[in-house]
A and B are shown apart, each in its own frame.
Chain A
Amino acid sequence: MTRGSAAAAGGAGEEAVRANLLFGPQPDVAKAAGYTDTPPRMGFFTDTSVCIGCKACEVACKEWNSVPEDGLELTGMSYDNTQGLGADTWRHVAFIEQRKPLGGQEPGTGHQDVDVFDAARSLGTSASSPGPGATAPTPGSAPVGAPAGEISPVSPDGRTELRWLMSSDVCKHCTHAACLDVCPTGSLFRTEFGTVVVQEDICNGCGYCVPACPYGVIDQRPHDGRVWKCTLCYDRLGVGMEPACAKSCPTDSIQFGPLDELRERAAARVARLHAAGVTDARLYGENPEDGVGGDGAFFLLLDEPEVYGLPPDPVVTTRDLPSMWRHAAVAAASLAALAAVSFARRPR
């Protein structure tokens, strides 16, 4: 039936789908996996520009999924002590400290010459002081005490200051999921929601999916042998609830919903940030034309992906699998030929 719809839709993208199911855009992952009547594909949009690094998602995920503690380590590298995704970290909040001003935000902290009593007296009376309850100056207005005609000075000598980037990382629930493709037991499967889940009662602990994942998500639990990763709260989805992390996120940095809708929301958010002067804002993993056919969990980032520990241009490993098998077949034939030549009698 996908074949029929492909013929109807035509187009170069559809050609790619037909040519090689291991790679390229795949408009309906659940149907391609054999489901007939499916809900829309669900996913995450993680807007890191509003993340405050509170780690509510990490905690909620552990609580709901009974994920064991993963070695209470103090790494000393930053405020991040979970370091990365693994068998016992299904959500991971990255903390990045940078020497850059956050776009659209004034990080200046020099308020020595501000008379706070004066400022308090004029609360609610001047345009630059929007009154009790307001948390931000009205756009275009300078804070009290700022030099006329300027938004507050960035720093005394023009140096840029620090900024924090925080980002809650998770399994990407790839359109073409390498982990799922290479699993020899069928333990990893595609759900009706288009997400990727491990069945822990079938997993063999062969560990093949671990190096196959281009994002470094899935991992083996020591002393258990089996692999674990985010299930996008399959159990909650089944009863119409949103995943625990999204539910607990106080800033709505983690948004859950039908992927199409999330993509629209994300595009609008990027446009707004760009208009506000945050030119660094970009989406990561939302493009169905990318190396993994687009992610079911994608991100709004404020810097290059590698800064957050994400691969800049991941490609599903099975894209090259047909070529690998061909090379191996030729090599096997060469080996047989080599043996035959070894037995051939040399002419005297």
Chain B
Amino acid sequence: MTGSDVTRDGVEEARPEREALTGAHTGRRRRRRGRGERSMVPEARFSSYYGKPILNKPVWKPLDIAGYLYLGGLAGASSLLAAGGQATGRPVLARTAKLGAASAISLSLAALVHDLGRPARFVNMLRVLKPTSPMSVGSWLLAGYAPLTVAAAAADVAGRYRMAGAAATAGAAVVGPAVATYTAVLISDTAVPTWHEGYREMPFVFAGSAASAAAGLGLVGAPAAQAGPARRMAVLGAALELGAFQLMKRRTGLAAEPYEQGRPRTLLRAAEALTAGGAALAALAGRRPGREGRRLPATAGAALLAGSAALRFAVFHAGVVSAEDPKYTVVPQRERLDARGR
């Protein structure tokens, strides 16, 4: 279609100054494919308004919000490790996890405040409690959880206030799992296709990712004799994270396509390699305790921590991609509409 058809007297096909397409021809067509990988979904044809996005994409800063998702998970699962370590007489593991939980949640609050612009805005979050707003529920969760982790860590480091410290540790372990998984609801409760469509599996992905991150921290910080639970948690967490993610990709179809392209794809591959590799090293460290010294568990732990972070960034960026391309909004909705027969 190079000739103009806005002509008279059959002089169509005269070449315009530059190629300007109109109407049905402006819909964005095929984009570049993931390197060498077969696309999981058939090519989508659709119309759109000059290829402009339908949704307004998230305005969140990636480092702040993906970081927030990651640190919240790390903290939540660490609280479980802390309580377990304390109950089973593994003081170094418990202390590592308590310190980890307290600093991770403080950092995540800092990230949130940085994204909001100023600290007073976090206080404003507690104006109301709205069950329809996961962010409101989450703010209240954090307001309850963060002081518990800090109290638990402080009591441990000070070596005093045993009872209060134990109570805070137990309390943090009760709230921790909710802190680790509510963030999945937070991002799923949006119109962003890749996030919303995955709402069933996303909490499990986040739970697994939180477990593997916390286990990674435990492996880095605790001696081999006390790190047994962290090693098992690493394997279980990695399995849950990677398994739930595969399930999510399979079930959400077109909405999972952004995971296979560009930056999210790179991040996701890194996350898979680091998490699976870290879990394998953790298992290996369990088989040959002490033989490799601190090097093997520390490597495993670092890989798990990095893998969990890469996964959160992959999820974040894939969501942004799906909001920016009208295809992910139009095609499934159009199919749904046509299936209903108008």
Residues of B within 8 A of A317 (CB): 189-191, 196
- Alpha-carbon distance between A338 and B23 when the two chains are bound, in angstroms: 54
- Alpha-carbon distance between A312 and B48 when the two chains are bound, in angstroms: 10
CB atoms of A96 and B49 under 8 A apart: yes
Question: B6: CB under 8 A from chain A?
Answer: yes
Given contacts A213-B191, A335-B210, A339-B84, contact A208 B203 (CB under 8 A): no
Among B47, B180, B199, B207, contact of A323 (Cβ-Cβ < 8 Å): B199
* A and B contact pairs by CB, cutoff 8 A, 12 listed: A97-B22, A99-B23, A100-B23, A162-B23, A208-B190, A306-B46, A306-B54, A314-B333, A317-B189, A328-B184, A328-B185, A342-B229
Residues of B within 8 A of A311 (CB): 54, 329-330, 333
CB atoms of B56 and A327 under 8 A apart: no
B74-129: which have CB < 8 Å to A? 76-77, 80-81, 84, 87-88, 115-117, 121, 124-125, 127-128
Looking at the assembled complex, report how far the CB atom of B324 sits from the nearest CB atom of chain A, in whole angstroms: 11
Among B46, B54, B80, contact of A215 (Cβ-Cβ < 8 Å): B54
CB atoms of B237 and A338 under 8 A apart: yes
CB atoms of A99 and B127 under 8 A apart: no
Given contacts A306-B326, A314-B191, A335-B181, contact A218 B56 (CB under 8 A): yes
CB atoms of A324 and B188 under 8 A apart: yes
Given contacts A86-B56, A211-B192, A306-B46, contact A109 B24 (CB under 8 A): no
Q: Which residue of B lies closest to A98 (CB)?
A: B23
CB atoms of B53 and A331 under 8 A apart: no
CB atoms of B24 and A328 under 8 A apart: no
Among B12, B77, B132, contact of A335 (Cβ-Cβ < 8 Å): B77
Residues of A within 8 A of B6 (CB): 161-162
- Alpha-carbon distance between A321 and B77 when the two chains are bound, in angstroms: 24
B181-233: which have CB < 8 Å to A? 181-182, 184-185, 188-192, 195-196, 199-200, 202-204, 206-207, 210-211, 215, 229-230, 232-233
Q: Which of B133-141, B154-162, B304-312 contacts A (4 or more CB under 8 A)?
A: B133-141
Q: Is the interface of B mostly helix, strand, loop or mixed?
A: helix
Q: Which of B57-65, B254-262, B293-301 contacts A (4 or more CB under 8 A)?
A: B57-65
Given contacts A159-B12, A207-B60, A336-B177, contact A313 B336 (CB under 8 A): yes
Question: B321: CB under 8 A from chain A?
Answer: no
Among B56, B117, B202, contact of A211 (Cβ-Cβ < 8 Å): B56
Residues of A within 8 A of B191 (CB): 178, 211-214, 314, 317
CB atoms of B59 and A216 under 8 A apart: no
Among A220, A328, A340, contact of B182 (Cβ-Cβ < 8 Å): A328
- Alpha-carbon distance between A336 and B195 when the two chains are bound, in angstroms: 24
Interface residues on A, range: 35 or more
Number of interface residues of B (CB under 8 A): 87
Q: Which residue of B lies closest to A330 (CB)?
A: B203
- Alpha-carbon distance between A162 and B26 when the two chains are bound, in angstroms: 14
Question: B323: CB under 8 A from chain A?
Answer: yes
CB atoms of B49 and A308 under 8 A apart: yes
Q: Which among A162, A185, A186, A205 has the greatest number of chain B C-beta atoms within 10 A? A: A185
Question: A74: CB under 8 A from chain B?
Answer: no
Question: A144: CB under 8 A from chain B?
Answer: no
Among B116, B203, B236, contact of A225 (Cβ-Cβ < 8 Å): B116
Question: B9: CB under 8 A from chain A?
Answer: yes
Question: A238: CB under 8 A from chain B?
Answer: no
Looking at the assembled complex, report how far the CB atom of A157 sits from the nearest CB atom of chain B, in whole angstroms: 7
Question: A343: CB under 8 A from chain B?
Answer: yes
Q: Which residue of A lies closest to B135 (CB)?
A: A184
Given contacts A184-B125, A331-B184, A331-B204, contact A213 B233 (CB under 8 A): no
